[in-house]
Amino acid sequence: MLQVKNLSFSYNKTTILKNLNFKVKKGEHLSIIGESGSGKSTLLKVLYGEYDLDSGHILWDNTEILGPKFNLVVGYDFMKYVAQEFDLMPFITVEENIGKFLSNFYPEEKQQRTAELLEVVELTPFSKTKVKTLSGGQKQRVALARALAKQPEIILLDEPFSHIDNFKKQSLRRSLFKYLKTHHISCIVATHDKDDVLGYADRMLVLNDKQIEVNDIPEQLFKNPKTPLTASFFGEFNVINNRIVYAHQLKLVNKSNLKATVKHCYFKGHYYLIEADLNGDTVFFEHDGALKTGKEISLTMP
Ligand code: ADP
Ligand code: MG
């Protein structure tokens, strides 16, 4: 189990993380979310031992993770980290990159292991391709496979699908997260994409203003987002009478005392997002059909 106790960290004199406490159990999937600049990447690097803490402790079971002041070679066998900007060896093949840290002592096993990982990241047809000729998204997948090669106990992923296009993203996400669950590998995923969280994460931690704003089960946070920041992560929302109401919860009815005027209508695929004026405030709601600008409507909320 990973235990983070009273962790504080600054770059020079600028505090980025202040007094964080959380745990990740074996095989558990934790998502770290927060706005750009909130310190997600910094937190992953700190957990990996890239920097020295101002104060606090990071433990994996009974091993304390130490920064460069106390540990000359960054990294541990039980933990792998895939950075937002990954560094691969460009002049060798995909297969060679993935197998780079696997022993040559059992060539057959090495071959099998590499083939299995190529399947997980859906790169089997590219095994003999030189990395320098791959796209950004393909490189990101090679970096993921390489981090998994030696079967870590915990893996830290920084926006793991950020370079991967929508065509591949869904299936790759399923394949990777399924692999991690099946092999009881704990993972911490920094992301700003709700699709990386919903359906996969066991817990979700929101970073805001250097601290953990909330740490809970995604379903709980979705149903009861305690702050606008958390709600905004899940989608379009309104604050009406001091309550957070998602756009999909606000509905058009024949009669109510929430009277609004349609301002704009956005086609969203299986629904339309309607922007309306409610007593001088802009509100958003979802509707099956398009609505004309200027139309007077009545709304209801749960
Ligand atoms: P996120 O990943 O959530 O976007 P980061 O962890 O990258 O956030 O950055 C958090 C804050 O730390 C930002 O204000 C950023 O400018 C600052 N920062 C990041 N890396 C460094 C660094 N190496 N030196 C100084 N400041 C940094
Ligand atoms: Mg980042």
pLDDT tens, 85-112? 878 999 999 999 999 888 888 889 999 9
Q: What is the CATH number of the domain that holds 131?
A: 3.40.50.300
Note residues around ion ligand 2 (Cβ under 5 angstroms). Answer: 40-41
Smallest CA-to-CA distance from 221 within 210, 235, 209, 211 is with 235
Mean pLDDT of the chain: 95
Would the CB of 16 count as within 6 Å of ligand 1? yes
Same domain, 215 and 252: no
Same domain, 296 and 204: no
pTM: 0.93
Domain tally, the chain: 2
Same domain, 140 and 182: yes
Taking only the tens place, the pLDDT of each residue in 52-93 is 999 999 999 999 999 999 887 888 899 999 998 878 999 999
In a domain, 260, yes or no: yes
Would the CB of 34 count as within 6 Å of ligand 1? yes
Look up the domain containing 250 and give its range.
Answer: 236-300
In a domain, 228, yes or no: no
Mean pLDDT of 263-268: 97
Does pLDDT of 146 surpass 90? yes
Domain end marker among 168, 199, 223: 223
Smallest CA-to-CA distance from 82 within 70, 65, 98, 71 is with 98
Q: What is the CATH number of the domain that holds 256?
A: 2.40.50.140
In a domain, 16, yes or no: yes
Domain end marker among 199, 223, 247: 223
Ligand 1 atom nearest to 159, measured from its CA: 2
Same domain, 218 and 283: no
Same domain, 255 and 191: no
Does pLDDT of 31 surpass 90? yes
